[in-house]
Structure 1
Amino acid sequence: MNRKTASLWVSGVLLLGATTAHADLPDEATLYKNPQCGCCDGYARHLEELGIDVTIVDNVELGDIKLQAGVPYGLGSCHTIEIGEYWIEGHVPMEAVTKLFEDQPDVGGIGLAGMPIGTPGMPGPQAEPYNVYAFSDQENEPFMTLEP
């Protein structure tokens, strides 16, 4: 196999891997947010670019949704997403969301507190590690750390 053929083969394998990495994600999601929050719309657009049909709900009490989802107090963000059997709290990068659906742990969901720069919907470069947590029933534990 010559160098050009090998390069094309590796590129094809990587492309197929990227395509199947998101294959485990559900086709639909509901994003609950404040009506004035534009970065939440950016996160919804990011999900849509991955082929997920997103319904945006901006006329509910977010505190009630977070309580229903089991998000621990103090670890919330500007939006909460219901996707498949899980909840996603905030601007969680797709690497963590994909891992959640690949591993399917016995948790209510995963989250990333605040609105970190460099995450989907929050423009700019990642400046510090993202500490993604898993949660259930208002309790949390580390899920994964994404380094810059």
Structure 2
Amino acid sequence: MFEKMFRGMFAAAVPCVVLGTVLIVTGCAPEAAAEYAEKAENTVVADGGAGDATLAAAIADAPTIKVYKSPTCGCCALWVDHMREAGFELDVEDTDDMVGVKVDAGLPLQLQSCHTALVGDYVFEGHIPAEVIARFLAEAPSARGLAVPGMPVGSPGMEFGNRVDPYDVIQFDAEGKTSVYERR
């Protein structure tokens, strides 16, 4: 039932596995590269001045982000493009063992999505906007990382026409405690 419902959200089949009530995504929506290219911005979202410089500095000062993704995942590739266009340097590794990557990163099950990015001691899971990651890195909180659970339509790499579903960017700590970092 869940697989059929999940597949219905997208124009093409999405390989996934359903275990009880847990849906494990093993692939993503098909690429919409032309549509994404029309919407993509080459700079961090403006906030009126000083904040832009802070975000740009955070991106420029950020170490290389290690991104793990499935080799067949189109939406992950689009998110990688989004991050690079914002100015982040990425080291992308395609892997068929995303479950192992997430377990090794200490990522709580309820926060999992398709790709996982690591920088320093931080974990970034899923379709988090580049400017949110830049702000988080500039703030350098004691949190373990950020996640956008699932694959919300309209998040970077998950564009679908003009549709943008509301979603939360979740902050989590090493014990798995969560809070809403930002609402989108």
TM-score bracket for the superposition, by shorter chain length: 0.7 to 0.9
CA distance, structure 1, for counterparts of residue 114 and residue 177 of structure 2: 18
Distance 1:51 1:94, change over 3 A: closer
- Structure 1 residue runs without a partner (length 5+): 1-12
Equivalent position amino acid for 2:179 in 1: P
Does structure 1 residue 23 correspond to structure 2 residue 57?
yes
Where does residue 15 of structure 2 map in the other structure? Answer: none
| Cα displacement (A) at 1:27 | 4.3
| Cα displacement (A) at 1:102 | 2.4
**TM-score normalized with structure 1 length:** 0.78
Matches within 5 A, 1:98-113: 98-113=134-149
Where does residue 132 of structure 2 map in the other structure? Answer: 96
SS for the counterpart of 1:46 is: helix
Where does residue 114 of structure 2 map in the other structure? Answer: 78
| Cα displacement (A) at 1:19 | 4.3
Identity %: 32
Where does residue 36 of structure 1 map in the other structure? Answer: 72
Where does residue 121 of structure 1 map in the other structure? Answer: 157
Where does residue 104 of structure 2 map in the other structure? Answer: 68
Q: CA RMSD in A?
A: 2.3
Matches within 5 A, 1:7-18: 14=48, 17-18=51-52
- Structure 2 residue runs without a partner (length 5+): 1-46
CA distance, structure 2, for counterparts of residue 101 and residue 128 of structure 1: 25
Contact 1:70-1:136 at 8 Å conserved across structures: no
SS for the counterpart of 2:110 is: coil
Equivalent position amino acid for 2:100 in 1: D
Does structure 1 residue 134 correspond to structure 2 residue 168?
no
CA distance, structure 1, for counterparts of residue 58 and residue 173 of structure 2: 21
- Larger gyration radius, structure 1 or structure 2: 1
Structure 1 stretches of 4+ with a deviation exceeding 4 A read: none
SS for the counterpart of 1:23 is: helix
Where does residue 182 of structure 2 map in the other structure? Answer: 145
CA distance, structure 2, for counterparts of residue 110 and residue 63 of structure 1: 18
- Looking at both structures, which has the greater relative contact order when contacts are Cα pairs under 8 Å and sequence separation is at least 6? 1
Count how many residue pairs are aligned between Structure 1 and Structure 2.
135
CA distance, structure 1, for counterparts of residue 92 and residue 154 of structure 2: 22
**TM-score normalized with structure 2 length:** 0.64
